[in-house]
Structure 1
Amino acid sequence: MNALADPQAIALDDGGLRWTFAQLASETHALAARLKTQGTRVLATLMDNSPAWVVADRAATEAQVVHVPLPVFFTAEQIAHALAAAGVDTVLTMPTMAARWPQAPASSCTVAGQSLAMVRLPAATVAMPEGTAKITFTSGTTGAPKGVCLDAVAMQGVASGLVEAMEPLDIRRHLCALPFAVLLENIAGVMAPLMRGATCVTLPLAALGLSGSSSFDAARFHAAVVAQQPDSVILLPQMLRVWTGYLLQTGQRAPASLKLVAVGGAAVGVKLLQAARAMGIPACEGYGLSEGASVQTLNLPGADLPGSAGRALPHAQVHIAADGEIEVAGSLFLGYLGQGADAPHRDRWSTGDLGHIDADGFLHISGRKKHVLITGFGRNVSPEWVETALRSEHAIAHAVVFGDGEPALSAVLWPVLPGATDDALQAAVETANATLPDYARIARWTRGQADFSVASGLATANGRPQRAAILALHADALGTTAPSLS
């Protein structure tokens, strides 16, 4: 899987200790043997980013054990749901987290120098698509995580496509900035660099300024990037927004070592990309989905169109259906866990996203098909399009747009700085409106009554807005009808 790697080259670096590719292979063989001996069928990992997580992921593949990576920011209910749905019989976790299962037998386990607990659970065999190697859970728009079943061929295909497309950049050191349980980092930030023979810098998330699913300390993150001098990093749009703002405020620049900062998970916006690049951040937007084993398109230096999601990577085929829906092929998932009837079509998968491909092959995404608003004047508007324009203004951290059946659009805004005045937010709305046609402009807005987070109930665990809940909370302020949440 890493034919380009010198066995003595550094594969993993946790900021203190390093592991060569030979040592990584040895650790992987040892854990795989233990999994086989104890009869593990489905392994869940519940731990912070670390070399041990990488070893566990590779050991599961070697032992032909299904791996279920669980984010540590999942709630207890979400974790319990995922464990039961996937038929997990073994959990590899930190000793402190093993206390969640006081009745289950647990044994100590040292992996890549880290002391862990191996918890054995009584689990029934669960039906899943043949060939399932990994089940990635995404909370989607509800609290119950949905399991996406992937095989090794699809995941390795995506990693190979990234290695091929990024070869001219000569990436030798990648800083892992997202949780490993997030498929994007798992595939593009671990599998692809190691396949090429590059070094993965695997710091604890707290050392990168990340806490929970949505708290991000840009000062700590910037210090880590400066200290580690990586060639590449993957960020979510909000992380890029906050880091760029921090550099602007402090008069600093990103390290010159950076060759690529890939940004995915949501629309980025041209203004944010331009601001980031002015600070020395080589930010490039991409697009992907769990059902396609992560990234499908990516802008790259030399093949870059800000505002687009980039061109299709070597492993991916991207099509646009007659109604504008984006369809992908080339690295499809096997199906949803427990929902065999929803298995992907043999040739392609309908993503639920709307967009178009321009004459130069760049994919442009306009929003989610199910979120399209039809105004009182009969105009179809994708709220994500307008929300991207609003979030492109420095004063606005989050924006959710409404207006279905209304004469004009309205929005709920959450400021970057808690002390931001209404005048500052109004100015930001007016600037965004100037970039939009009249039917897509914001006529009325209100400040959010709570932050958009899991704790407030206004966002999912992966940061997507809970639109119905947000509208219900702010309907009076917006002068619209609250939806039924029953």
Structure 2
Amino acid sequence: MGGVVREVFVPALAGPPASGSLGDIPFQNAREAPREAVLARKDRDGVWHDVTAAEFAREVLAVAKGLIAEGLAEGDRLAIMARTTYEWTLLDFAGWAAGLVTVPIYPTSSALQARWIIHDSGAVACAVEDTVQARLISAERANLPGLAHLWEFDTGALARLVKAGEHLPDAIVHARRAARTPESVATLVYTSGTTGTPKGCVLTHGNFHAEVDNAVELLHPVFRSVSTEPASTLLFLPLSHVFGRMVAVGCLRARVKLGHAPSIGTEELLADLAGFRPTFLLAIPYVLEKVYNTARATAEKMGRASSFDRAARIAQRYGETVEGGKPGMGLRAARALYDPLVYRRIRAALGGRVRYVLSGGSPLGRRLAAFYTGAGIDVFEGYGLTETTAASTVTPPQRPRLGTVGWPLPGTAVRIADDGEVLLRGRHVFAGYWNVSAHQPGEWLATGDIGELDADGYLTITGRKKDMIITSGGKNVAPAPLEDWLRAHPLVGQCLVIGDNRPYVAALVTLEPDGLAHWRQMHKKQDVPIRELVTDPELLAELQRAVDEANKLVSRAESIRRFTVLPGEFSEARGHLTPSLKLRRGAIARDYEGEIDELYRAPRTA
């Protein structure tokens, strides 16, 4: 229609399984490659130990028997509330082997959020990581009459389950596995609840197979060993998020060695990366931004900021040229010069062997994607929802297109509606919402995202439909590109672009603690209180330069005219962020109503 691409479909690379479930994966691995290392566990001394396929299958079987011995029936819901740990994945697969439906809960959830998920899902058992979480759930037991069991990993719950099930024959687990089909429900994953009560997405075993089997086939260099180094990844994103969960399942399915890192604190994560040394990583843009900004801050402390910035520009130019052809000799020489000085240090921070990154959750941005490509790390950016078992589009190998979220995942169709909304269809699309009769998916899933397809079928996401700003002058503004660009700045923690029914676009900005600490040190303002710093002329000037750069992305009518720096951070505890770090715009606008009004009362800058 008028040269505009409205729909694109990529045929599946993997057919649907005729039978079976995710609970079969450990046992299939044990039959086919019993001695192959499929996981690794870190001991108390920080040493990683491989877990073979046969060992993992034995553990899954033993825990599954324990779940059955405790009285859990086929189809019962089992909630799991923990950080990203080996025990999480073990219990997940044991639950599937026992015919259960697992229900993840973010480890940072409040008592009210956890109670809602356990109550709505009808979970009869809940496993938590530690005493703090156990107390949180225990305090809600009076409101959860259906919750019969509460187990804690840190006090040996899994060992007790194994002991409880010792008297049962293995055949009881195998019979339950045999009764599962691709249409059986595997898990209920609750949405973040940015605008209301979280809803449980019903994901089947077939949904996961459609997702991971096609992703593994498409991303062959990532999941399959193409050198003497076996493929491996260290998972540090929450397993309560569908993105992390999908990759964990995909790794077990493809027999890629999987490790777990429970902390994303800078020092702890860097130590785990150095010890595990993965070949690829799953990351959200925040993590990649932090690695970049930390490297730049380190260079500045050493008096080498200008050298780092030159290296960054060369990497970005190199990354930009890769998608269109072969970089010239001069650019290749410049990149080779900076590789041992800068790029190798970036790769070393990620463990030294990382060659691929799967990025999702929010747009990475063309600049950072080009930088990492130039630094020797291929970035596969994807887009998807909880309702689509994670990715619905992904960057195809050898065919990057920076700034886009790639092609449809094989087996997926993408359509752009008349109003620009992205619609999706495929076997990975969920079965519907738990306990919700209305708003179930039809032939096409309406995502709520606004996007466009280019002539080659690459999708670009420009924003959320409900987040679109319409100024009082009638200009439509998508806030996401401006927010994503600003958030990549080392001083910016979060950014909320506003302007609905207002005369111009403005922004609320929070400061990133590590970036601010570095800025204080470099400007010798360690003792200046934060409430004074937010109006510091030097700080505001640096942020204004960042805003000016972001404004180059849009027309003048869409540009940020004014901004204010807030003394505090947006946080999940204050209700401003979801557990997956998405902005709760309504809550922020309500809590900062005075600051927003001030942006429109004060004289506007030119």
Same-fold call, TM cutoff 0.5: yes
Alignment pair present for 1:362 and 2:389: no
Secondary structure at the aligned position of 2:500 is classed as coil
Contact conserved, 1:356 with 1:364, CA < 8 A, in 2?
yes
Tell me the distance in 2 between the aligned counterparts of 1:107 and 1:145: 22
Matched, 1:159 2:212: yes
Alpha-carbon shift at residue 109 of structure 1 (Å): 8.6
User: Runs ≥4 in structure 1, deviation > 6 angstroms?
Assistant: 102-105, 107-111
Q: Alignment partner of 1:153: what SS? A: helix
* In structure 1, distance between residues paired with 2:388 and 2:484: 24
Q: Which secondary structure state, in structure 2, belongs to the residue aligned with residue 309 of structure 1?
A: coil
The amino acid of 1:37's aligned partner reads A
Cα deviations across residues 89-109 of structure 1 (Å, max 9, x unaligned)?
011233624344277875879
Q: Give yes or no for contact 1:161–1:313 (8 Å, CA) kept in 2.
A: yes
Deviations 1:20-65 (A, max 9, x none): 1111111112222232333321111122322222121112222221
In structure 2, relative to structure 1, the CA distance for the partners of 1:408 and 1:193 (3 Å cut) is same
Residues 270-296 of structure 1: CA deviation (Å, up to 9, x unaligned):
122233445544333210101111111
Structure 1 107/219 Cα, relative in aligned 2: closer, same or farther at 3 Å? Answer: closer
1:246 CA displacement: 1.3
| Structure label with greater radius of gyration | 2
**Aligned-partner residue type, residue 178 of structure 1:** L
Counterpart check, 1:341 vs 2:377: no
CA offset digits 1:122-155 (Å, max 9, x no partner): xxxxxxxx83220011222147432111111001
SS in 2 for 1:322: coil
Letter in 2 for 1:389: W
Structure 2: distance between partners of 1:110 and 1:397: 33
Give the match for residue 277 of structure 2: 229
Map 1:267-416 → 2, pairs under 5 A: 267-330=363-426, 331-345=428-442, 347-416=443-512
Task: Could you tell me which runs of 5 or more consecutive residues in structure 1 were left unpaired when the two chains were aligned.
Answer: 119-129, 211-216
Kept after mapping to 1: 8 A contact 2:451/2:460: yes
Which residue is equivalent to 1:456?
A: 574
Aligned residue among 237, 240, 248 for 1:181: 240
- 1:67-111 deviation digits (Å, cap 9, x = unpaired): 111121111111111111011101123362434427787587989
1:173: Cα distance to partner?
A: 0.5
**Letter of the 1:438 counterpart:** R
The residue type paired with residue 221 of structure 2 is P
Q: What's the offset of the Cα at 1:323? A: 1.5
Matched residue SS, 2:185: coil
Structure 2 residue corresponding to 1:135, chosen from 177, 183, 188: 188
Tell me the residue number matched to 2:99.
Answer: 64
Query: Which stretch has the larger CA shift, 317-326 or 156-165?
Result: 317-326
Residue type of the alignment partner of 1:80: R
Q: Which residue of 2 aligns with 1:198?
A: 256
Among the aligned pairs, what percent are the same residue?
Answer: 27
**Cα deviation per residue 1:347-369 (whole Å; 9 max; x = unaligned)?**
22010001011112211001011
| Structure 1 or 2: more strand by fraction | 1
Distance 1:250 1:114 in 2: 43
Match of 2:124 among 66, 89, 93: 89
How many residues in Structure 1 have an aligned counterpart in Structure 2? Answer: 458
Q: Which residue pairs with 2:286 in the alignment?
A: 238
2:555 pairs, out of 424, 437, 440, with 437
Cα distance in 2, alignment partners of residues 44 and 343 from structure 1: 24
CA distance in 1: counterparts of 2:372 and 2:493, whole angstroms = 15
SS at match of 2:211: helix
Alpha-carbon separation, structure 2, partners of 1:460 and 1:95: 22
- Residue 333 (structure 2) aligns with: none
User: Aligned match of 1:253 in 334, 346, 363?
Assistant: 346
The whole-number CA distance in structure 1 between the counterparts of 2:294 and 2:490 is: 11
| Distance change (3 Å), C-alpha of 1:313 and 1:400 | same
1:420-445 CA-to-partner distances (Å, cap 9, x unmatched) read: 51111111111211232111110010
Shifted more, 406-415 versus 89-98: the winner is: 89-98
Task: Structure 2: give runs of 5+ residues left out of the alignment.
Answer: 1-24, 43-47, 142-146, 162-182, 226-230, 300-344, 520-538, 601-606
* Matched residue SS, 1:163: helix
Q: Is the 8 A contact 1:92 1:117 kept in 2?
A: no
Structure with greater contact order relative to length (CA < 8 Å, sep ≥ 6): 2
Q: CA RMSD in A?
A: 2.6
Structure-2 change in CA distance of 1:439 and 1:107 (3 Å)? closer
Do the aligned residues in 2 keep the contact of 1:149 with 1:333 (CA within 8 Å)?
A: yes
Give me the whole-angstrom Cα distance separating, in 1, the residues matched to 2:160 and 2:479: 45
Cα shift at 1:158: 0.4
